[in-house]
Structure 1
Amino acid sequence: MTALVLDVPAFLQRLEVARHERSMSWREVATACGVCSSTLSRMITSGAAPNAHATLSLLIWSGTSPADVTRPKETTP
């Protein structure tokens, strides 16, 4: 089985679409998902992947399939 990693830019794009559809601020998204707003801020400003709890909460909130925001992990020889 191929290891997968979260594609943070793709995930952010999905979250942005869901946020705009609901006319919500990022702070409101964080509150609705039960995650710290700083988690979203780190994703937006530095591309940092959120922890497992935040990832799952944001996936559920946005209605995003994990398959849509993951990619195979690059391996080094």
Structure 2
Amino acid sequence: MTKTTVDSQRLYATLEAAKNEQGMSWRELAKEIGVSPSLLSRLGNGLKPDANSFATLVDWLRMPAETFFDHEGEDTSGLREPQLMTKLAPLLRAEKSLTPEDVEYLEKVISATVAHVKSRG
């Protein structure tokens, strides 16, 4: 039977990338998100967040919760990796400095670039 858990390392790494991108400290990030700094510290130590904290974090990241799911005991070798744009689209849409038109343009540019790279072999 498959057991689904939160991949706290992936969640922490994503939060760390957001923190670094915004030039914040962990304490500032916690305040921005609305969680305690100790929650972020526990994540950094590999501990799992409670359900409400997890929901708050993924909502702030504007990413699907399943991005941070780990399916223990499941054979994922036959599953295909999500498309690049499927992964990037939530990040682009979450970027506050981009207008919807900017996001649409970037999605087209990235898609065209990926198609070009794939056509080259």
Q: TM-score range by the shorter chain?
A: 0.7 to 0.9
| 1:4 match: secondary structure | strand
- Aligned identity (percent) is 32
Task: Say if 1:33 and 1:61, in contact at 8 Å, map to a contact too.
Answer: yes
Name the TM-score, length of structure 2 as normaliser. Answer: 0.54
1:63 corresponds in structure 2 to 62
Larger of the two Rg values belongs to structure:
2
Counterpart-to-counterpart distance in 2, 1:63 and 1:22 = 15
What number of residue pairs does the alignment pair up? 74
Task: Say if 1:14 and 1:64, in contact at 8 Å, map to a contact too.
Answer: no
Offset of residue 64 of structure 1: 2.4
1:51 corresponds in structure 2 to 50
Please list every run of 5 or more consecutive structure 2 residues that lacks an aligned counterpart in the other structure: 75-121
> Could you report, residue by residue, the CA deviation over 1:16-75 in whole angstroms, capped at 9, with x for unpaired residues?
11111211111111111211111111111x211111121111111122221211011449
Please list every run of 5 or more consecutive structure 1 residues that lacks an aligned counterpart in the other structure: none
RMSD: 2.0
More moved, 58-67 vs 11-20 = 58-67
Counterpart-to-counterpart distance in 2, 1:19 and 1:30 = 10
Name the TM-score, length of structure 1 as normaliser. Answer: 0.79
Q: Which amino acid aligns with 1:11?
A: L
2:71 corresponds in structure 1 to 72
Find runs of 4+ consecutive structure 1 residues off by over 2 angstroms. Answer: none
Counterpart-to-counterpart distance in 2, 1:63 and 1:17 = 14
